[in-house]
Every structure is written in structure tokens, then in C-alpha cells.
Structure 1
């Protein structure tokens, strides 16, 4: 096996360690630092350094080593922390992340950035503790400096630069064991090796520490599969002989041998060294731990989801076949029971498989403490970030796509929403503004909110800016429509352009991206009190619950999450408005009417609206009345992307395969409304039959 096979594992785990490091740095109280947090930051740097050295990533190894030395002084209390030092540590973490990405892309890291951060860390060490941080040698793992020999015994001095370690590998397969032994050869001279898959012992002579060996090995196997102890001089000598490994305790050492006999491992494994004579006890526990989780490629999960989708389609076909049999299937109870069981199991399987792709929103929210800290620092504002509902889960594909829109919304709230500290104090508000990120489930959707307690939106200012930009607005527009103006391309109310905002780009992309995910953006704001930007997304894009409708001979699917109710329109409730618009009055609310057969040119459909069915749906925060011929019923459908297989179709978000094998289009509510407006503007006389039918019912 090639060591390159483990590159991906190293990259993933190093990425997680860097994320943990950033989180601990952001949470660190510089006035009263938590020793556990400092130790966690140090351990993360130490593990990355060990792995980087093993895989030959020398620039990352050297950067992390210098950073690790400085962290060591901090956790020992020799370096007094300040906010500016934490900022420098965060910058070092960013550069290490860039170096990791460079190695992932098989490129050389930026040498200028490497030299700059190393010089900065060295300068901090000189100014704060009066020491120079030693840079590591080219070897995979650095050697610890030997103590002065005038105050140490000769054997102790020698052991600090070169010693003999016994490395026991527990429950490691042949392939992994061969790779690990090869790595140990790079770290020192192997004196002997023997054992079996249950316990394999390697005697290693060299200057590398037990901690560094552990940091390297833990990128390949679990920490519980390694035991490292330092051998006394007599044991080290006998280990060179090709005999069975010595498992019993050595004889009482002489005075000159007492210090080398002390274990080197400083972590939990130090306590395990006494159990090395009982190797059988560790095996059962490790076997249970190993099976607790596995790393699986997302492509494999997607393949399983696609197969489950095909299974659901097949189940729908069988349902259709049984339905077509009619009375013939009524007497066959075993067939009916079998179909019910298949339907229940198919749904359970789908939910179980989809849960594999579900990721907690904490994965997204964890990125924002740094964004808020950096942005607030640039703006000179004091911000408290509060996150709610971090355990709420969302499909992985949506998690990856929602991060950028959320970043834009957060930066927009910090720049345009929250006031400067002095301004807040003058208004009687706390100097520190609040920014809340929350997530929760709502029906078949996930609701993500970005709330601030800032100045809120100024309706008059937005309208004035919209007129200045040539947008078609009026003073009678609802507040919700006025607030939606911020998503217009090129729209910005910033008085000057900064590196945070003011260029009029970003918010339009936010809305477009969220709509591309099948979601919508809603804004609620009150002047002087704050703004709440709400994102509503489907939980997943792979499978959804839909309402089957019929128009003419065509079957369409409406996402069930958008359907509010259905009713039979009455002649007295429909009105013709100016501009060829028709509205339906539903409980004192006038809803735009969308006739699907006209918008999508469906033939042989019902044209008398009083004989059709009005389905009340909601899209982008607005309600519409969609006229259909018939409601077929609710069903679970597998979403098939049209753009990948054909092209983008206006008014249609995707397609699915029905139980009879035919293709049904999944309708896009807001897209249909835009298409209806476009047809009227193009002079295609949409809604003309309704206009002539209800002219006398026009409201006064």
C-alpha cells in the first residue's frame, strides 16, 4: 500500500482539527483563559504537525511546529494572552488552512505567507517571553533539545536525544500494519518486530518522541490501538535479539537507569503501559469502538439515494397496477397486505437513507463566529452572536449551498442593520448589538432566520433609492414588497463603498441561489427595532411529498409544502382588474389568479373557472390561486433534475416519474406567476376568457 492512500484521511482530519482550533480560539477568554481550551488548541496543532511530517508536507509541518511552541508557552502561563495575539493566532490558523488546501491540490504553499507568519510568531516570542522558537529539522518529527549535561547523569542526557521505544499495535490488520511499520522505519531504526494481528510489537531506536509517533499513527488507526513505552537499557539490549518480545517487567534498575525507565507517553497511554502484560483485555473494547462509525464517500450515499428513488418509483408502479385491477384485487388480501407493507418499508428505507445525508446546522453556524468577529472589527462595532437550533438537520447538498447566502445576509445585517456603539448608546440601546442565527423545522421545510436588533429598514429611503435606480415602484406598495427591493440587482443604500458592502452585488445573488434550492426569502423589519430575514428551504432536494393535479390530460405535481388549501371558486368572488389581471377574493384577501392551462398551453382543459378548482399556494411569501381541473391526491415523488437531462423550463422546477411510467412536471409557483406576467406583457391575452366572463363583477 502507498502512503498516498491515506492523504484524504489526513486532509479531512486536519480540516476538522483546524475548525476545532478556530472555535476554541474564538471562545477563549483572554483575561481568564481556560487551560482545557489551551490544551485542546495545542493538541490540534501537535496532531497536524505530526501528520504533516509523516506525509512530507514540510511547510505545513514547520508552520505548525512554530505555532505549537508558542501555544506551549501560552498554556504554561509564560505568555500573557491579549485580543491582538488571538487575532494573530487566527491568522496563523488561516495560513495553515491555505497550506493544507495547497497540498490537497498538489501545489506548493505560498512561501511569502509562510515566511510572514513565521516571522510574526517569532517576533511575539521575542517580545513577550524573550525566546526564539526553534524551527523543526527536515526530519518527519522534530527532536527535543537535550538538557545540559553538566547537571544531568550521562545516561539521562543520552536518552533525551536517542532512546528505545516499544510500540505495540493492537488489532491492526496485515495491510495497515505493513504501512505502519514502514512509517516507523522513517522515524527511527527498527531493532526487532514480532507478534500477530492481535498484538504486534516493534522496538524502535531513535530521537522521536512517543507523542510524535502517536500523532502520526492516529491518522491511520485509532489511539486505542497504540501502546508506547520506553525501554530501559537492559530491555533495549535484549530487544535487538530475534526472540519473543519481552512482556514482563524488567528487574529493579540501578540508580543510573531510573530516569530512562520512566514512560515517555504523556497522554492517556502512559497509564496503559502497565497493562501491556495483559494484551487480551484491550481487544474487545477496541472492536466495539471501531464499529461505531465509518467514513463513506458522498458519491456512494448519492448512489444509494438514487436506487431508493428508483425503488419508490417501482412501488408506485405496483400501486398503480393494483389500482387498475379494481375489483379483482379486493378479494386478494395477501396482495393488499403485501402492497401496504412494501409502501411502509419503502418510506422507512427512504427516510433512513436520507438521514445519512442530513447534517446538523451547527456545521454551518460554526463558521460565523469568525465572520462576525472579523466584520465587526472592520466596522468598529460590538456584536454578540447567538445561535439557536444548531441540532436542526438539513441535507448536505443544501448545507454546502446555503453558507454563501447566509454569509451575505450576516454581513448585510452587521453593516446596514446594527448601529455604531455610540449611536446605540444615544438611542438607549446596549452598546453591543445582537445578531441571532436560528434554524428550526416547520412542516416539510427548514426555517433559517438572521435577526438583528439594529435600526431596521427605512421604507421611504428604500423607495427613494429604487426610484433613483429606475425601478417601477409606488407609495402604495406593501412593506413586504418594499423590503424585497433590496434583492434587486445593483441595489444598495450604502453611502460609500467599503470592503464590506456598498457595491450593490450580493443580495440579488442570495435570492437567486435560494430560489435555485427551491426556497424563498421573507423579510420582516421594524424601524428602530431590527430586521428578521427568513429563509424557507425544503429539507431535501431528492424526494418530496407532492400534490398530484390534473389539467386537461396532463398531470402535474405541486410541492405539498406550498399548498395551503383548495376551494371551488364562485362567480361573485372573481374580479377583473386593470392590466388584464384577475383576482380571487378569499376571506377579504385578493389573490392573483394563475390559470395553468393558459400559462403552459395545455389543451382540452376546463375554461369555466366556476367548474375548476382553485388551489391556494404560497411562493416567495405571496399567495396565489392556481386553477386546475382535478385534484388526484398526495404522493411521494422522486425529483429528477430537468437542467441536467434537458434544459431549464420556465415555470417548472423539476420532473418525476409516475406509477404508470409517465413523466410529470413539478411546478414552480413563482416561476408560473412570472411566466403568466410575461405572456400578458407579450400580448398573448392570458386570462382573456375570464376578463369577458367577469367584467360586470369588477369591484368599485
Structure 2
């Protein structure tokens, strides 16, 4: 179907496939935005702006799909648009069934678009049933009504009436005259006829002889709005060259007072026969509440109000004012760049940082009086390199709202499946995190949120019995703390049961005792296969998940902490570094080796006297710092560093913090602070204990970046 548009009319030599990727990205964004607005829609007090925003998203996807020839997507989104159009015109009252079917339609549209993006591989997803359900709702019906239902006769009321036959003609066909021109090549307008031929449900069109050779005139019968048609035509002819007006259709019944003049828009010539085929005498077109023919009673049969010649012009003007702004705003504010190009740019900046460090190190021996200009230039290079690095790194940083936005829909479906009522609250959506980390943190967060809904939040009856509100609350928050980002998942559910966890651990043969601290007991749930669920469901209960969560987060140099109070709720805190590419570090020397400590983990450094260090059981050492004792770790022993200068002894300690605990690292000297480019050690060599990565120093040597979290855990064991 896509080739059809590329061959017709003015697009004969124009390949639309070059714009496919842009369309797929924009369609995905529109579907995501529509889903978010549907989830936030208040069914009782839905305002026009909310409904119009949802309508615009569906309209944008439909217009693009029709242009590129994706007929299945265009047909589905056209039906969605018809339902949304009636909602925004207040001809229907939104309800939960409509939200459900629109969300399902958005999912189906994504599936269809993904298939087209993959080159139409695989079997197409059937949408006939979905289209039918949307049609029923758009006609004012309900989904639980049997297919064969007799016409329902109700007393006149402002509410819409369920129609017995939700067919295509019920959308309200409009008779239009379309004038295109003047054009230098009038044959360009012939492509318009192909649109009507190729897009199902668009309507019919026929050419009319024109007295001017530069003009093309068509008569069309369609249910689409002027805005829809202008968007479709814009890919073949300029919008300014298109004039759409209501076509006067003679009325066969002259005595029925359905308008002020014969043949006016909305006259009986455009109204389908009533279901019971009984004539309606002296029907006043909407002059009195409940009068026969009022739009609220037969909204799907009477021609759309926009067919009136008095209403077409304002409608087109409004579209011209709104659409360019809404379409141009994202393009003006952002630019799409392949992530591979950003990664390449970051690698180049990393090499620049290494080169700058090399120049800075080699210039230390120069005489400032002789090489003042050179040293000034190197200082400027240092400052500009740092600014460039921060700017480039900010390109990779994306807000956490990208991750948070997927959870409302997931929770809505999961809570409905479990019979629970859940309110979802997000905080700190603007907090930014490196894109590489965002992609890897999404799955662990998804499991934590599902875990809170399934295990944490109680059923409404249980919550009421416990003196709580029926609806539970799950809060997802993100915030910056030093050089890390902390993401918390909190719920006000039942919390963790210390007794259940200990009993389950004993059943599994784990070494536990009643004297264990709460923090150590909570850590037991991260054991592989550990689950306290009494019943295994398709949601959880198999013990697979929490161990994977911790494994994935630990692989990102992050940590997971749990805080819980039985009967009141639970909080899971995930701490991650802001980025994995470039960081500020403190270089320390031990013997002939140089190590890098993440500057965000360094608390302080000091020179220590031998009598300040105390030796306790099993050779462990403690140092007293301002009335606080903390473990001492000798890096010389940890990494088995050979020492050739036997007279030299380590007397400098660097206090580092990780996982909420502090240790003192014993080193020979402090070499200074610098930016370092983090290189993955596993991909280039193998996993090394107590080391998180490596970097290249200014003199070309490789220095190991220490894993402060692993060193802290080492001291605890």
C-alpha cells in the first residue's frame, strides 16, 4: 500500500520511505502521550482541553499512517478518532469502557506500526473486533449489548441514545465541494482521488468539469472533518490552494421544516431514515429540548455540524492557528540524533580529556616565568575541556519521566487484574540520569513496582479492616544525592513480615538467627528463588525477580536498600552513579601503583599516627576519627602490592563512604584530583574483585578505579 502513494500524482518520483523513521518515532510519541492523557483523564470532570489533546494525538497518527499508505493503522485510528470526536463535542459521556478500548487500540496501533517498521514481516494483528467495539461505543451503545438488538425507543433526553446499527454510514456523511488551485500543473490534484480510493472509510470522490483549466473541482462524500482532509491533501498540494465548502443537496421532502431554506446543510436529503420508518411531522431541528431531530438524540445519523457553510470557515481557521504551533513546537525545541553519534562524541571527548591530562602532567616541570603563555593556554584548555565534557555528558542525560511514564498503565492493568485499588504518585520526574543507565534500570524498577502492587498493597476489604483507605499508594521518586541518583519505590501496604522471612529462610536451609538485625533479614529476600508468596500466580510467587534486581543494579555499581515496617509499608532505595562514562576522581599512590577513588565517595583525608590505630580480633584494625571508630583497609595488602622502599610506610588515610557505611583506606600519598575516562575492565580483560573499571593516566599508564562499595562490604565481613 505504501508504494501506491509514491507512484501517484505529484509523488511519482518522490520516495516517502525516507521519512518512515521520523513517522514511526513521532507516531510512538503520540501514542505514548495519548495513553498518558487517557490514564489521567477524569471521567466525571473531563474538560475540553484534555479531550482535544487525546483527539489530536489520534488524528496525527491517522494522518501520517494514511499518507504513508499504512491502511490498517489509518483505519483503526480513524475509528478511534470518530469516538474521540464525539466525546470532545460532548455528544457522549466518557466512561471506563471507552478508556479501556482506546488503550487497547493504542497497543494494537503500536503492534501494527512495529510490523510495518520491520518490513511487514510476520502475520498482521487482526483488528476487526476492536474496530467493531469502537464503532459500538461511538454510536452510543454499550459493549455488553448483544449483536442483534432491536431499535431502542426512549423518552427525549439530552443524553445520547444507543443506536441499533453502528455501521459506517452512522458517522454522518457530508456532501462537500473541493476546489483545488490555481495550479501550474493541475494534474497534481489527481492524487487526491487516489487517497479516497486507497484509504478505507475515507469516502467517495468524483471530478467535476471546471471552466478554468488551472482549477480542479471535486464532489466528495465523507465523514472526515475539513482539518483531516487538509492534512491529507497537504502532501500533494499546498493547503492554501485547497478550498472546502459544503455542497448544497436538494431535499426530496419540501414540506418538512428541517432548516430555514430548502437544500440547506442538515436538510432531510442528508438524514437517514428513522429506524421505525414512521414520518415525523413538523420536526423542528433542535429549537426545543427533546424535539425530534435534535443532535443529541441522533448524533450519528444527522450530518456533522461542520457541514454548515457558516461553520466551515471558523473551523479551518482554528486548525491553521493550532496545528502549526503544536507541530512545530517539538521540532523547534529538540533535534533527533542517533545514539551511536552521541556515544562517538563522548568517546572523542574522553580521548580529549586523556590528552589534556597528559599535557598538564608534562607541563608541571616547566618554568612558569619562561613558559607563562604556554601554561596559561594549558589552563584555558583544562577549563574548556571540563566545560565541553559537562556539555556533552548532558546530551546523554535524560529525565526519569521517560521511565516513570510506563508505570501508570502497567499498574492500572495489574491492579484491575488483582482486584486492588492503587494510586500511583511520582516525584522528581525531572531528575536526569545517563541514558545507558536508564535503559538498564527500567526492568529492575518494573519488578519493584509490580512487587509493591502484588505483595505490598492489600485488597480493599483488608485495608478497610486494618483502618486504612481502600486505595493503596505506590510512590516512585528520584533525587540527586552527591554524585549519585537515588530512586525509591514506596508503598503503604502490609510491609515485610520478619517472622515469615526467617521461617522461609530456615526451610531453605539458610544460616539465620533470631538475633539478626532487620536490615540483614530484609536482605534475605534477594536470595535466588526466595519467595514468601503462598500461591504462585502469573504475576509473581516463583521467587524469580528480586535476586535479578540486585544483580542488575550491582552490575551498574549501584546498591539496593530495604526499609520496612510490618503493617505500614515498605521502601526500596536504589542508589546509582549518575553516569558510567567520565567522572571526577582522586588518584592515590600505594607503592609504585596508582589507584583512582570516585570523588563522590571520598569524605576526607588525614595523616594518621601509629598509636591512633587499634588492632582487634583476627588482625582487623580500627581508627578513631572524632570519637568514631571505623575499619581500616590496607590497599597494600588487598592488592598484594610489592614494596621496594622498605623504609617508607603508609601514614595517610582516605575516608570513603558507600552503602551508608564508612571505611578508612590506608595509602602512601595523595596525587591529586582529575577527570578520568571510565573504561570497562570486564569487556577488555575480566572481572577483578574490588575494582569497578580502569582509566588511562596522562603518562599513558593504566590505573584501576576502585569499587568503594565492594571495599566497604569487605570490611563488614
Q: What range is the shorter-chain TM-score in? A: 0.7 to 0.9
Seen in structure 2, the aligned counterparts of structure 1 residues 181 and 166 have a Cα distance that, compared at 3 Å, is: closer
Task: Quote the RMSD (CA, aligned, Å).
Answer: 4.0
User: Which of 56, 69, 89 matches 1:56?
Assistant: 69
Change (3 A) 1:135 1:452: same
- Are positions 1:130 and 2:163 aligned together? yes
The CA distance in 2 between the partners of 1:217 and 1:306, in whole Å, is 45
Residue 341 of structure 1 aligns to a residue whose secondary structure is helix
- Whether 1:409 and 2:448 are equivalent positions in the alignment is yes
Instruction: Give how far 1:134 is off.
Output: 5.4
CA deviations over 1:39-98 (Å, ceiling 9, x no partner): 221221121112112222222222222222222233333333322332222122112122
Of 63-72 and 117-126, the range deviating more from structure 2: 117-126
The reply to whether residue 658 of structure 1 matches residue 707 of structure 2 is no
Whole-angstrom CA distance in 1 between matches of 2:182 and 2:456: 58
In the alignment, structure 1 residue 576 sits paired with structure 2 residue 609: no
- Relative to structure 2, which stretch is displaced further, 67-76 or 105-114? 105-114
1:259-315 deviation digits (Å, cap 9, x = unpaired):
779857935565679xxxxxxxx99x9999975532222221222111111111111
Inter-CA distance 633–472: structure 2 relative to 1 (3 Å threshold) = farther
Residue 108 of structure 1: how far off its partner (Å): 4.7
Aligned-residue offset at 1:607: 9.2
- Within the candidate set 336, 342, 350, 1:301 is matched to 342
Structure 1 segment 517-596 matched on structure 2, within 5 A: 517-568=556-607, 570-571=610-611, 573-577=613-617, 582-584=621-623, 586=625, 591-596=630-635
Contact 2:431 2:478 in 1 (8 A): yes
481, 495, 499: which one pairs with 1:442? 481
Judged with a 3 Å threshold, the aligned counterparts in structure 2 of structure 1 residues 16 and 288 are, in CA distance, closer, same or farther, namely: closer
Render the CA deviation track for 1:612-653: whole Å, top value 9, x for unaligned. Answer: 433332334443333322222221111122233333333322
| Correspondence 1:353 to 2:386 | no
Structure 1 position 131, deviation (Å): 5.9
Query: Which runs of 5 or more residues in structure 1 are unaligned?
Result: 137-142, 148-156, 170-179, 192-200, 234-254, 274-281, 681-700
Deviations 1:471-516 (A, max 9, x none): 2333333322222222221111212112222111111111121122
Alpha carbons 1:577, 1:583 under 8 Å: kept: no
Q: What does 1:668-687 align with in structure 2 at a 5 Å threshold?
A: 668-672=707-711
Helix, strand or coil at the partner of 2:576 = strand
Given candidates 316, 322, 339, the residue that maps to 2:357 is: 316
* In structure 2, distance between residues paired with 1:422 and 1:407: 26
Give the alignment partner of residue 78 of structure 1, picking from 91, 101, 116: 91
Instruction: Determine the C-alpha separation between the residues in 1 that align with 2:467 and 2:516.
Output: 32
Aligned to 1:313, the other structure's residue is in SS state helix
The residue number in structure 2 matching 1:382 is 421
| Residues 338, 572 of structure 1: alpha-carbon distance in 2 compared, 3 angstrom cutoff | closer
Q: CA 1:476 to 1:590, structure 2 compared with 1: closer, same or farther past 3 Å?
A: farther
TM-score, normalised relative to structure 2: 0.75
Correspondence for 2:211 = none
Gapped runs of 5+ residues in structure 2? 1-13, 143-161, 197-204, 208-213, 247-262, 266-306
- Structure 1 residues 64 and 232: alpha-carbon distance in aligned structure 2, compared to 1, 3 A threshold: closer
Map of 1:239 onto structure 2:
none
Following the alignment from structure 1 to structure 2, what is the Cα–Cα distance between the partners of residues 673 and 605?
28
Counterpart for residue 549 of structure 2: 510
Rounded Cα–Cα distance in structure 1 between residues aligned with 2:33 and 2:334: 20
Corresponding residue SS for 1:324: coil
After TM superposition, give the deviation of residue 4 of structure 1 in Å. Answer: 1.1
Distance 1:603 1:185, change over 3 A: farther
1:396 corresponds to which of 429, 435, 438: 435
**2: CA distance between counterparts of 1:97 and 1:415?**
27
Q: Distance in 2 between matches of 1:288 and 1:22?
A: 20
User: What secondary structure sits across from 1:603 in the alignment?
Assistant: coil
- C-alpha distance in 2, partners of 1:539/1:217? 47
Residue in structure 1 matched with residue 179 of structure 2 by the alignment: 164
Please tell me whether the aligned partners of residues 263 and 270 of structure 1 are also in contact (alpha carbons under 8 angstroms): no
Structure 1 length-normalised TM: 0.77
Q: Structure 2 vs 1, CA of residues 270 and 364 (structure 1 numbering), >3 Å: closer, same or farther?
A: closer
Q: CA deviation at 1:19?
A: 0.7
Going by fraction, where is helix more abundant, 1 or 2? 1
Q: Does 1:266 align with 2:306?
A: no
